[in-house]
Amino acid sequence: MQIISCFCNSVSGIIYRVSMLILNKTAGVFFKPSKRKVYEFLRSFNFHPGTLFLHKIVLGIETSCDDTAAAVVDETGNVLGEAIHSQTEVHLKTGGIVPAVAQQLHRDNIQRIVQEALSASRISPSDLSAIATTIKPGLALSLGVGLSFSLQLVGQLKKPFIPIHHMEAHALTIRLTNKVEFPFLVLLISGGHCLLALVQGVSDFLLLGKSLDIAPGDMLDKVARRLSLIKHPECSTMSGGKAIEHLAKQGNRFHFDIKPPLHRAKNCDFSFTGLQQVTNKRIMKKEKEEGIEEGQILSSAADIAATVQHTMACHIVKRTHRAILFCKQRDLLPQNNAILVASGGVASNFYVRRALEILTDATQCTLLCPPPRLCTDNGIMIAWNGIERLRAGLGILHDIEDIRYEPKCPLGVDISKEVGEAAIKVPQLKIEI
Ligand code: KG4
Ligand code: ZN
């Protein structure tokens, strides 16, 4: 109703002002207005190209790891402007992220990226409702650049500030692309994180399990490095995970047999270090057999990629299966049509998505994943998290005196011990892709 009356008011306002222009024209005082004037005129009706009215608008800034990203998003989920600078190629050359290098690259690019996102949005910074920035968790040096830039901007523009938890933003992205109500289960798998959580509200999470060591993306990056995939003509500019996915398509996953990790622990925790070590041993053995040195490409690289990808997917599916059963057993999720959301860089992997789909089909759930470019780090998810918090009235700060970044920060209330104590046995599920 509010929208309809707002629409009517604005339309009658437009008719009135257009009539005034025509009257002025007939009175001989009409002149061709500049583009800027036209835009200001349209904005006076809350008009924006692609939307009809200005809603709440948030600028989101992300620098928690190796992407400098910014976006302007409105309340209805319209992405008004977006820009990103990825450091992947630089870090590929150094064989991993060097924090001081990441920091310098963020410093070199943040001003330009934020400016590009704002210019693309064609709104004036004064029209922003708030500025939202990732302040936790992440690399300290990287977080610091985004935070100090944002605080300066907040001070200049006199706008509210919304500190963002990077993983909360990954979890809520799906509500920008799909109509998803709370509660839902979320699986966040990326280069720095791996967790399963029940999302009950914008900032209301129950943590069911997490990685006990490294994240799956980190494991894939390490395996890709050990296989020297940067020297592979088809993969030289791809992140480790993407390179593994690409090569795996040409490989045979039955070539090796690696047992999925933690198969005896009846909880929802993950582990990937063992998988990485076993894979390293295989690679060393193969190098000997093929008579090649470390740093050269193995002829069986695609088979190794296929095996590691499959084993990782099976492990992820099994832990997620237990999380679904636990939530249903405790009535935390509906028995039918519960939603499983998968996000984070590794969730852009189509083999993993297909494996999760086999799971959701078997458990009467629905799998939803943001499009791949919104699974990896981006500014849109941060701006959207800002909108979600603005709408819920949560964590909107007008005083920015004591804000600090937090490199480590858990997500939600940790009930993983309770999940382990329930010791739910997971039925066998064939992952045949
Ligand atoms: O979410 P993200 O951009 O950054 C973190 O928050 O970590 O995830 C980056 C991670 C990297 O480890 C990268 O290798 C992995 O996601 N990744 C993939 C794929 N694309 C990126 N892993 C598997 N398959 C992919 N297609
Ligand atoms: Zn991320």
User: pLDDT digit string (tens) for 386-408?
Assistant: 999 999 999 999 999 899 999 99
- Average pLDDT taken over every residue of the chain: 89
Q: Which residues contact 225 (CB under 8 A, 6 or more apart)?
A: 95, 96, 240
- Rounded to whole angstroms, the Cα distance separating 430 from 412 reads 32
In this prediction, residue 2 carries a pLDDT of 38
How is residue 427 annotated by DSSP? P
Give yes or no for a contact between 272 and 223, defined as CB atoms under 8 angstroms apart. Answer: no
Is ligand 1 within 6 A of the CB of residue 344?
A: yes
Give one word for 9, left, alpha or beta, with left for phi > 0 and alpha for psi -120 to 50: alpha
Is ligand 1 within 6 A of the CB of residue 221?
A: yes
Is ligand 1 within 6 A of the CB of residue 168?
A: no
Is ligand 1 within 6 A of the CB of residue 192?
A: yes
At residue 296, the 3 state secondary structure works out as strand
How is residue 233 annotated by DSSP? T
Confidence category of residue 44, pLDDT binned at 50, 70, 90: very low
Residues with CB under 5 A from ligand 2 (ion): 190, 377
Torsion, Cα of 230, 231, 233, 238 (10° steps): 0
HSE, CB side, 13 Å, CA atoms: give it for residue 31: 4
Task: Tokens 């993993």: give the residue.
Answer: 352
Q: Mutation test of ligand 1: which of 190, 349, 350 has the most ligand atoms closer than 8 Å to its C-beta?
A: 190
In this prediction, residue 17 carries a pLDDT of 40
Q: Residue 14 above 90 pLDDT?
A: no
| pLDDT tens digits, one per residue of 225-284 | 999 999 999 999 899 999 999 999 999 998 888 888 998 899 999 999 999 999 999 999
Q: What is the 3-state secondary structure (H, E, C) of 346-400?
A: HHHCHHHHHHHHHHHHHCCEEEECCCHHHHCCCHHHHHHHHHHHHHHCCCCECCC
Which ligand has an atom closest to residue 167 CA?
Answer: 2
- Rounded to whole angstroms, the Cα distance separating 16 from 6 reads 15
In this prediction, residue 92 carries a pLDDT of 84
Which amino acid, residue 22?
Answer: I
- Rounded to whole angstroms, the Cα distance separating 421 from 425 reads 12
Is ligand 1 within 6 A of the CB of residue 69?
A: no
Ligand 2: centre distance to CA 167 (Å): 7
In this prediction, residue 407 carries a pLDDT of 97
Residues across the chain: 433
Is ligand 1 within 6 A of the CB of residue 220?
A: yes
Task: Tokens 């090649």: give the residue.
Answer: 292
Residue 184 forms beta bridges with which residues?
Answer: 199
Would the CA dihedral through 76, 341, 378, 132 be positive or negative?
positive
Confidence category of residue 36, pLDDT binned at 50, 70, 90: very low
Residue 70 forms beta bridges with which residues?
Answer: 61, 83
Residues 84-100 have a mean pLDDT of 90
In this prediction, residue 13 carries a pLDDT of 37
| pLDDT tens digits, one per residue of 282-330 | 999 999 999 998 999 999 999 999 999 999 999 999 999 999 999 999 9
Residues 381-385 have a mean pLDDT of 98
Written as six digits, the tokens of 12 are: 């009658």
Residue 83 forms beta bridges with which residues?
Answer: 70
Global pTM value: 0.87
Residues 38-63 have a mean pLDDT of 64
Would the CA dihedral through 329, 333, 339, 345 be positive or negative?
negative
Residues 65-69 have a mean pLDDT of 95
| pLDDT tens digits, one per residue of 123-156 | 999 999 999 999 999 999 999 999 999 999 999 9
Residue 199 forms beta bridges with which residues?
Answer: 184, 205
Which ligand has an atom closest to residue 65 CA?
Answer: 1
Is ligand 1 within 6 A of the CB of residue 217?
A: yes
Give yes or no for a contact between 202 and 171, defined as CB atoms under 8 angstroms apart. Answer: no
Give yes or no for a contact between 211 and 190, defined as CB atoms under 8 angstroms apart. Answer: no
Phi, psi angles (nearest 5°) of residue 418: -60, -40
At residue 295, the 3 state secondary structure works out as coil
Residues 102-108 have a mean pLDDT of 97
313 vs 169, 353, 383, CA distance in Å? 23, 9, 30
Which residue would you say has higher pLDDT here, 195 or 21? Answer: 195
In this prediction, residue 414 carries a pLDDT of 98
In this prediction, residue 54 carries a pLDDT of 58
